[in-house]
Chain A
Amino acid sequence: MPIWRGTVDSNWGTAGNWLADGSGSGVPTALTDAVFDNLSPNCTVNVAGVCRNLNFNSGTGYTNTITMTNGITVGSTTAATASSVTLSSPMGINGSGSISTRANNTITLTSNGRQWPNAFGIGSVSVSSVTCNVTFVGNWTINGTLTIGAGTSVQYTFIGAINITCNGNLAFNIPSAASNAIRATAGSITTIIIAGNCTWTSIAPFNVGINININSPGNTVNIGDNCCYGGLGTAAGSNFTHTAGTVVTSGTFHLLYASASASYTINLNGSSSTSATTTNTGGVNFNNLSLRTNVINNAQSCTLSSPICVVNDFSITSYAGVTKGIANLLSNTAFLNKNITINGYSITGTTTFRLQGTGSWSENNTLTSGATGFGLSNPIVINTTGTITLTSFVGIYSGSLTYTAGSFVLTGFGLRVVGSTLAGLGSAGIVIPTLYHTTTTAGLTGGARITLTDTVALQITNLIFEGFNLNRAFAYGGNIGFIVNNFNYQQTSLVSGSASQFGLANSVTYVVLNSFIFNAVSANSSSNIMQTLNDSTPDAIFTLAFGASQDVFGMGGKYINSSAGQTIWSRKGLLTSTTNWQNWTYPKTRFSTFTN
């Protein structure tokens, strides 16, 4: 390993300055090491330096000064060969040249308490490796730009519960791919502290599992497009935190979701203001936020320790090739000030999505009959002085939609709802053009119940039931009913079992104004019953307005009082304790006819 002696001059590139030993001689190459010890004099990197390992801490450590007129690339061009950078505490560092490490399988970085004043690259030079394990010994402070990644697909794993204080810019140079990541190590999570007046950039969204902490008091941190956190490679305790400093965001920030990965936490102190901007002196307001997912099951969760704020577009997105992935956001509130676009879904999300600006809400989902995997389980609250406009049908999946204030425009679209609560829409006079009441998978006993909470009945133009399969427990709970123009319940398959019943809340009034289609595909089935939720009195009030059309086959009634409207005529439905329901029968004698 060539040892720096500087016996000819002070230039790195002079072969005679390097003392040969058994592993090499002359100017270091990618196959040999560059060693500095307590006997090494000053050194000027007068050429682009290359070495396999760069060690400034041989003997009792380098005490003189290296002048970084050029940069040094550390690491073998053979991916399997380990490399390392070791600083020494008393060494002097001049010049602005960088250290760049190749993305070898194994890199060890030891600071010995010495700050690196210039740019530093971790795995930032490409080599034919698919993994790059980086072990840190001691905390690191880097005052120049910290670059991670070589622009090629490599999975990085950081090992060591140390802090990398980044006083310069932070640049992620890792392309987007489902497996590309900066992974954390369980029980030994590395933290990058963004501490400077700096910019954080990323060439693409990918998985980040190590901790990131913005702690830059008195400074401004700019977060650029495609910066990202979460996904593959998180470990228990992984977090993205804002501690101090002004943050300005641009472009889209991505929270990643991966399969079978540890849940992670973000604590960013987003603004709750309806006039929030992308500059936040006390936290992070996202310009655009994407929940980016590549899994359709077993998805990890992201928990909010404090609110988040999205100034412009909030979305759930999916990697190419993933039709719809899961993105669960847990706890606290997401203050969403503009548009919402859903191309994926949540199934256990609990973060309240507060729509508090003017924007659109859409879901890129075909939402076909019986579709699964759609919509939001998060509580959604419309509380705005602006206007929220649907630009497609949107799904509410085991969640809730609460209207508090503002304009909510649904023209031409509507909702697809599974087992959720709808509140406040009726009293606001909001008419849902089309509401698809949907079931999804078998065994959802009661799971398709819609709970209506309000002081005024929910108005729906077209109420359509679908998603029929083995178990169709359509039901309505809550303290209020609905007023529907067109009611369309058309079974598409034979069912059996009590869970297929159609439930209405006791003593609550439901009204159909224009058209009532209530068709089973099997006649005389005890399963095909409109009945009260508790299968007992008091009756639910189901009124079919005079003049409305009706088409009822195989559906019966039980504890249903329809006396306030026209008689409901059921062809082969079982009627038990109904009021103003009749069975369709016809005469058996010749020449009979119906007359008024």
Chain B
Amino acid sequence: MAIKTWTVAGNWATGANWSPVGVPGVADDVVFNASSPACTVGANTVAPLSMDCTGYANTLTINANLVIAGNVTLSSTMTTTGTGNLDISANALLTAAGHTLGVNLRFTTINTTIQIADTWILSRGLTAQGTPLGSIIMRSSTPTVQRTFTLVNNGVTNQDIDYLNVTDINGSAGLTVWTYKGTVSNCQNWFVMSTQPPPVSSVSMG
């Protein structure tokens, strides 16, 4: 187990770009600090235990699946962009720290709990891959205290949310969010899609 700090600009998968040298493994923690240069994730990663971007002021380009099996802390001075996903594959505490996430945020593992520590703004989308075999929980890290969680209404933000149980989340600043076969408790602008459509179903766009 080691702390792997991003030190040389380039591709995540290049071991020499990390200190100590070596691509982060599943037992490592990843750090992007104020000195870290830009980084590109060009291929799916293994799942380090956490990613801490406190103070990071560069660009993290995610063009594949950046998988983190634990806590993620972003920073207001960094930029995220790309066509890939920031995958959360285990129980995690997510801290945006003022950052607007520019890639899709995806919860990939059933029976995990994702805690939201502060205000989150997502400009590309949210995916939750619960299944009939198990749901995913997303909730405020402080019970009963709602976290603002906004899916930006920009015409491109996507949502693809199955079997997600949501608690203490306020989505009123963005898109209405629909979870297929999940639950919603103490939330604003989050709804559960009925599994039973009306006999004559139509959609009224607001």
Real binding pair: yes
Q: How far is the CB of A584 from chain B (nearest CB, A)?
A: 7
- A569 contacts B197, C-beta separation under 8 Å: yes
Q: Mark B166-199, 1 if CB is under 8 A from A, else 0.
A: 0000000011101011000000000101111111
Residues of A within 8 A of B191 (CB): 593
Q: Does B1 contact A (CB under 8 A)?
A: no
Residues of A within 8 A of B197 (CB): 567, 569, 582, 584, 594
- Complex Cα distance, B206 from A549, in Å, reads 28
- B180 contacts A519, C-beta separation under 8 Å: no
- B206 contacts A553, C-beta separation under 8 Å: no
- Complex Cα distance, B178 from A586, in Å, reads 7
Q: Does A596 contact B (CB under 8 A)?
A: yes
- B176 contacts A553, C-beta separation under 8 Å: no
- B196 contacts A550, C-beta separation under 8 Å: yes
- A594 contacts B203, C-beta separation under 8 Å: yes
- B175 contacts A590, C-beta separation under 8 Å: yes
- A521 contacts B132, C-beta separation under 8 Å: yes
Taking a contact as CB atoms closer than 8 A, the residue among B176, B198, B205 that contacts A596 in the complex is B198
Q: How far is the CB of A488 from chain B (nearest CB, A)?
A: 11
Q: Which of A257-301 contact B (CB under 8 A)?
A: none
- Complex Cα distance, B174 from A569, in Å, reads 27
Smallest CB gap from A550: residue in B: B196
Q: How far is the CB of A550 from chain B (nearest CB, A)?
A: 6
- Complex Cα distance, B132 from A525, in Å, reads 15
Across chains A and B, the number of contacting residue pairs, with CB separation under 8 Å, is: 87
Q: Does A514 contact B (CB under 8 A)?
A: no
Residues of A within 8 A of B181 (CB): 551, 553, 571
Q: How far is the CB of B170 from chain A (nearest CB, A)?
A: 14
Q: Does A360 contact B (CB under 8 A)?
A: no
Q: Does A30 contact B (CB under 8 A)?
A: no
Q: Which of A275-330 contact B (CB under 8 A)?
A: none
- Complex Cα distance, B146 from A442, in Å, reads 48
- Complex Cα distance, B133 from A492, in Å, reads 7
Residues of B within 8 A of A554 (CB): 131
Q: How far is the CB of B18 from chain A (nearest CB, A)?
A: 33
Q: Mark A487-503, 1 if CB is under 8 A from B, else 0.
A: 00011100000000000
- Complex Cα distance, B197 from A549, in Å, reads 9
- B198 contacts A592, C-beta separation under 8 Å: no
Given contacts A490-B132, A589-B175, A592-B203, contact A553 B162 (CB under 8 A): yes
Most buried by B among A519, A566, A591: A591
Q: Which of A324-377 contact B (CB under 8 A)?
A: none
- Complex Cα distance, B8 from A467, in Å, reads 52
Residues of A within 8 A of B203 (CB): 586-587, 592-595
Q: How far is the CB of A444 from chain B (nearest CB, A)?
A: 22
Residues of A within 8 A of B199 (CB): 546, 566, 596
Residues of B within 8 A of A491 (CB): 132
Q: Does B159 contact A (CB under 8 A)?
A: yes
- A590 contacts B176, C-beta separation under 8 Å: yes
Interface size on A, residues (CB 8 A): 32
Given contacts A553-B131, A588-B159, A588-B175, contact A594 B205 (CB under 8 A): no
Residues of A within 8 A of B204 (CB): 592-595
Given contacts A551-B195, A571-B180, A584-B193, contact A591 B206 (CB under 8 A): yes
* Dominant secondary structure of chain A at its interface with chain B: loop
Q: How far is the CB of B86 from chain A (nearest CB, A)?
A: 20
Q: Does A523 contact B (CB under 8 A)?
A: yes
Residues of B within 8 A of A588 (CB): 157-159, 175
Given contacts A551-B195, A589-B175, A589-B206, contact A594 B131 (CB under 8 A): no
Residues of B within 8 A of A521 (CB): 131-133
- Complex Cα distance, B116 from A186, in Å, reads 78
Residues of B within 8 A of A594 (CB): 193-194, 197-198, 201-204
Taking a contact as CB atoms closer than 8 A, the residue among B176, B178, B180 that contacts A591 in the complex is B176
Smallest CB gap from A553: residue in B: B132
- A584 contacts B200, C-beta separation under 8 Å: no
- A586 contacts B193, C-beta separation under 8 Å: yes
Given contacts A586-B193, A588-B157, A592-B176, contact A523 B205 (CB under 8 A): no
- Complex Cα distance, B157 from A569, in Å, reads 24
Q: How far is the CB of B54 from chain A (nearest CB, A)?
A: 32
Q: Mark A514-543, 1 if CB is under 8 A from B, else 0.
A: 000001111100000000000000000000
Most buried by B among A554, A566, A587, A588: A588
- Complex Cα distance, B193 from A586, in Å, reads 8
Q: Does B144 contact A (CB under 8 A)?
A: no
Q: Does B14 contact A (CB under 8 A)?
A: no
- A589 contacts B205, C-beta separation under 8 Å: yes
- Complex Cα distance, B196 from A596, in Å, reads 12
Residues of A within 8 A of B158 (CB): 588
- B162 contacts A523, C-beta separation under 8 Å: yes
Q: Does B153 contact A (CB under 8 A)?
A: yes
- B132 contacts A587, C-beta separation under 8 Å: no
Most buried by A among B132, B175, B200: B132
- B131 contacts A592, C-beta separation under 8 Å: no
- Complex Cα distance, B200 from A595, in Å, reads 9
Q: How far is the CB of A465 from chain B (nearest CB, A)?
A: 13
- B162 contacts A596, C-beta separation under 8 Å: no
Smallest CB gap from A571: residue in B: B180
- Complex Cα distance, B181 from A572, in Å, reads 13
Residues of B within 8 A of A546 (CB): 199
Residues of B within 8 A of A571 (CB): 162, 180-181
- Complex Cα distance, B162 from A572, in Å, reads 10
- Complex Cα distance, B205 from A521, in Å, reads 31
Q: Mark A461-500, 1 if CB is under 8 A from B, else 0.
A: 0000000000000000000000000000011100000000
Q: How far is the CB of A556 from chain B (nearest CB, A)?
A: 15
Q: Mark B140-168, 1 if CB is under 8 A from A, else 0.
A: 00000000000001000111001000000
Residues of B within 8 A of A490 (CB): 132
- B174 contacts A590, C-beta separation under 8 Å: yes
Q: Which of B35-81 contact A (CB under 8 A)?
A: none
Given contacts A523-B162, A584-B180, A588-B159, contact A550 B206 (CB under 8 A): no
Given contacts A490-B132, A550-B195, A584-B193, contact A590 B206 (CB under 8 A): yes
Residues of A within 8 A of B131 (CB): 521-522, 553-554
Residues of A within 8 A of B202 (CB): 594-596
Most buried by A among B176, B181, B199, B200: B176
Smallest CB gap from A591: residue in B: B206
Q: How far is the CB of A414 from chain B (nearest CB, A)?
A: 24
- Complex Cα distance, B200 from A584, in Å, reads 14
- A587 contacts B205, C-beta separation under 8 Å: yes
Residues of A within 8 A of B157 (CB): 588
- Complex Cα distance, B201 from A590, in Å, reads 18
The 8 closest A-B pairs by CB, nearest first: A591-B206, A519-B132, A586-B178, A596-B198, A521-B131, A569-B197, A551-B195, A590-B153
Q: List 8 A-B contacts (CB under 8 A).
A: A523-B162, A546-B199, A589-B175, A589-B205, A590-B175, A594-B201, A596-B200, A596-B201
**Beyond the given A587-B178, A587-B203, could you list 16 further A-B residue pairs with CB under 8 A, ordered by the A residue number?**
A521-B132, A549-B195, A549-B196, A550-B196, A553-B162, A571-B162, A584-B180, A588-B157, A590-B153, A590-B176, A590-B206, A592-B203, A592-B204, A594-B197, A596-B198, A596-B199
